Amino acid sequence: MMNLSTTIAGVTFPSCFMNAAGALCVTQDELESLGRSGAGAIVTKSMTIEARQGNPEPRYYGFLGGSINSMGLPNLGYKAYAELIPHLKRFGKPVIASVAGLVEDDFPTIAEFINAAGPDLIEVNLSCPNIPGKPQIGYDPEASERLLKRVRPKVTVPMGVKLPPYFDPAHHQVMGAVLGRCGVDFLSLINSVGNGLVVDPERETVVIKPKGGFGGLGGRIIKPVALANVRAFYKFFEGKMPIIGTGGIVEGIDAFEHVLCGASAVQIGTVLVEEGLDVFGRLEAELSAVLMRKGYQSIQECRGRLNEL
Ligand code: SIN
């Protein structure tokens, strides 16, 4: 197997594949299983101040083209993750703490406390679409800037931001400028495509309970949206911003596409939930085969090298 190690903001990952925040990473058991798996990092579920049960079930539904979820940030609460982090670091791979919040004040509080627990990186989630009445912060550039400028001084490890997808170049420009001003060290692109609606025509119903069936879309169907966002931010930062690509990676070749667009690592959400931890070995073998067939020695060699016509 080819060496698929990578570096994000100065931190080395033994493999470029890791779980996306949210996928099999809520409980201590799940996080330790990620530690023992082929994943190149352990990413925690986005944490809030209080432990949360999340939204009512059913709140995840997988279908042929992907998934829809409205989990509602079920998590153990930030203090529990702070306690777990030193143990998780023993698995010898980077630990990424995903920080969320229900109000702006939560973010600096959680960031400061979790930073002290010593994760290798922190990912600030500005893009949860599933809390009723709370819009995605990442769609409000002023709120995003205010929040990131409060979090930045609390964080001494590399600080990244998990963004929602944008659908217009004007929005990539505005958010790119905000991120540039806030001292962001890396980007995770993208969170689910928020507030989609999947319908079961036979039963004539929605497929998840929260928010009248609206939820975040993931999996195969969102790949072009994810690739566009990776590419747009890669170009905005002229290749100098490390990017973790997320969205629509089902096979190794999908990860290769993310790398071509500018990703230095990739996260796996829907297919990890559907297939379990063995997905990492499969994807590593498949990406290795693609690179070998094309004569590349590493992902660094082809990162961002997408040809335009
Ligand atoms: C959720 O827990 O509802 C998903 C979180 C997210 O998409 O950021």
Domain for residue 300, yes or no? no
Q: CATH number, domain at 87?
A: 3.20.20.70
Residue 259 lies in a domain: yes
Q: Which residues are catalytic?
A: 128
Question: Does a structural domain hold residue 214?
Answer: no
Which atom of ligand 1 has the smallest separation from the CA of 59? 3
Q: What is the DSSP letter of 14?
A: S
- Ligand 1 first shell, C-beta below 6 A: 22, 46, 70-73, 125, 127-130, 191-192, 216
* Collapsed DSSP state (helix, strand, coil) of residue 260: helix
Residue nearest to atom 7 of ligand 1 (CA): 128
pLDDT band for 284, please (50, 70, 90 cuts).
very high
* pLDDT tens-place string over residues 38-86: 999 999 999 999 999 999 999 999 999 999 999 999 999 999 999 999 9
Query: Quick check: is 305 in a domain?
Result: no
What total of structural domains would you count in the chain?
1
Closest by alpha carbon to 44, among 12, 85, 10, 5?
A: 85
Q: Which domain holds residue 254?
A: 6-55+73-192+220-294
Instruction: Compute, in angstroms, the gap from residue 191 CA to the centroid of ligand 1.
Output: 8
Which residue's alpha carbon is at the smallest distance from atom 8 of ligand 1? 128
In a domain, 128, yes or no: yes
pLDDT reading at 134 higher than 90: yes
Q: Please indicate, yes or no, if residue 67 is contained in any of the structural domains.
A: no
> Is 107 inside any structural domain?
yes
Residue 1 pLDDT more than 90?
A: no
Closest CA to 244 of 3, 25, 9: 9
Centre of ligand 1 to C-alpha 74, Å, is 8
In a domain, 161, yes or no: yes
